[in-house]
Structure 1
Amino acid sequence: MKIGRLAATLSLLVACTAFGEGQMVSYQINGEAYEGYYTTPAESGKSAPLVLLVHDWDGLTDYEVKRAEMLAEAGYAVFAADLFGAGVRPTKNEDKRQHTGELYKDRQKMRDLLQGAMTKAQSLGANTQQAVAMGYCFGGAAVLEMARSGSEMKGFVTFHGGLSTPAGQDYSQTKGSVLILHGGADQAISMNDFAALSQALEQAKVNSEMIVYSGAPHAFTVYGSPNYRQDADVKSWQRFLTYLKSVLPAG
């Protein structure tokens, strides 16, 4: 898909209603209720390769649903995970920090929630043997946690995600490749973090690619926000779609 056509597609989807062809899905992990979103492409359906999509620090919102439907349009099944709990969609920054902070302090719970989302996707008939995890901001940090856990995924992708490696962790167990899409003007996640991750991935001999979009601040893909940068958004999305084609079989 050419850049101009992709930009038009992005603009169209931004104007769409909150939900596409998919459905909200209730599930439980360790006795707690969660609510994700599951969608499949019209033609290949459940046989399509899977993308596990992990939300930003405001929880699973219309934004992730739009992105999920964009991926379904491109031929992928998508399970958008819920890491905060059913109905927990914080709007105040202090609440967002609370919910993300709880998971940053309990990395095992974060891993359990990610694996629980995959288990739920599998129960819905998703092709979890051919899957990639991707996430935005906080979701990107969660995806890298999944990579370090040794999860059997084909790849791990972050859009302006948290890049730091917790003390005592490394990428020695990472099985899939890693794609990092980062803004050069990001004031929340520094280029020092970017460089440190590059060194960590190299040390562990992980197949990786790390791209910087000059002038793009943190959250450069978030429609309607002051930080949105269409050029970086379109280019990063195009690279993501190309990456998916390279690591996942056609549906």
Structure 2
Amino acid sequence: MKYLLAVIMFLMTASAYAGDYVVYKSGSVEYEGFYSPVSGKAPLVLIVHDWDGLGDYEVERVEMLNKLGYSAFAVDMFGKGVRPAETAEKQRLTGELYADRDRMRRILQAGVDKAKALGADTGNAVIIGYCFGGAVVLEYARSGAPLKSFISFHGGLDTPQGQDYSGAKGEVAVFHGTADAAVSMASFAKLAADLEKAGVKHEMHTYSGAPHAFTVFGSQSYRRDADEKSWKRFTEYLKEIF
């Protein structure tokens, strides 16, 4: 009897957090996100992938968020089935979006719109991004998107020429590795100054010895101490935001 109850509880838990891939369009191009709701009324966390494309890492983060009581939607910035393996292809895909910020915004907005169409509460939402995704998240903040917070994990922090944070409507949070060779501490400091100048509420954290991509499980860059500390503060921050 105890075994049967354990099986039932396991199945109930598994089904509660069971997500699925969903297809949507931006213009004529198909994209494939991953959506896992807790309930229609639960706060929503949107996730933007790194330059590897949407994969197992983002799905695992979705499941972690579900267990904390949040619905989660991982957007796709590259296109359905596009999961680059070679560095040159990753550079090409991200470079095209860095060069066309309007397109970057449209693709992201299409994912947000799909989440809303599926019943997610986009009016009570934050967005997080990893590496390339962190840069996308800050682009969305500068667009004036009406989310509660825009959160970057080891993301690109530079503000493109001609842009600023004067139209930002939500808070900004940044988790950064002090040993990040791809995104300098000078960029980190300038972002803080830009946010302060614009009157955007923000908090910014650095972790000693943490390189770029320090949260990516199983990678050479992974730093457990920095990952766990940043995730702890992140989850505390979500409670404060929501």
TM-score class, shorter-chain normalisation, is over 0.9
Q: 1:80-119 counterparts in 2 under 5 A?
A: 80-119=74-113
Aligned to 1:184: 178
Q: CA deviation at 1:67?
A: 0.4
Deviations 1:175-218 (A, max 9, x none): 10000000010000000110110111011010000000011011
- Does residue 58 of structure 2 align to residue 27 of structure 1? no
- Does residue 132 of structure 2 align to residue 138 of structure 1? yes
Rg larger in structure = 2
- Does residue 151 of structure 2 align to residue 154 of structure 1? no
- Does residue 230 of structure 2 align to residue 236 of structure 1? yes
Q: 1:47-66 counterparts in 2 under 5 A?
A: 47-66=41-60
Q: Identify unmatched segments of 5+ residues in structure 2.
A: 1-16
Normalised by the size of structure 1, how large is the TM-score? 0.89
Q: Could you say what secondary structure the match of 2:174 adopts?
A: strand
Deviations 1:116-138 (A, max 9, x none): 11100000000010000100000
The CA distance in 2 between the partners of 1:89 and 1:47, in whole Å, is 32
Opposite residue 33 of structure 1, the aligned amino acid is E
The percentage of counterpart residues that share the same residue type is 58
Q: CA deviation at 1:100?
A: 0.2
Deviations 1:153-188 (A, max 9, x none): 000000000000000000000010000000010000
Q: Identify unmatched segments of 5+ residues in structure 1.
A: 1-19
Aligned to 1:36: 33
Opposite residue 111 of structure 1, the aligned amino acid is R
Aligned to 2:205: 211
Aligned to 1:73: 67
The CA distance in 1 between the partners of 2:66 and 2:45, in whole Å, is 9
Opposite residue 33 of structure 2, the aligned amino acid is G
Aligned to 1:222: 216
Deviations 1:32-67 (A, max 9, x none): 1000000022xxx12101111000001001000000
Opposite residue 176 of structure 1, the aligned amino acid is G
Extract structure 1 runs of 4+ deviating beyond 2 A: none
Aligned to 2:5: none
Q: Could you say what secondary structure the match of 1:27 adopts?
A: strand
Opposite residue 203 of structure 1, the aligned amino acid is K
Q: CA deviation at 1:21?
A: 1.1
Q: CA deviation at 1:115?
A: 1.0
The CA distance in 1 between the partners of 2:106 and 2:237, in whole Å, is 26
Q: CA deviation at 1:114?
A: 1.2
Could you tell me which of 164, 167, 188 is aligned with 1:170?
A: 164
Deviations 1:127-150 (A, max 9, x none): 010000100000000000000000
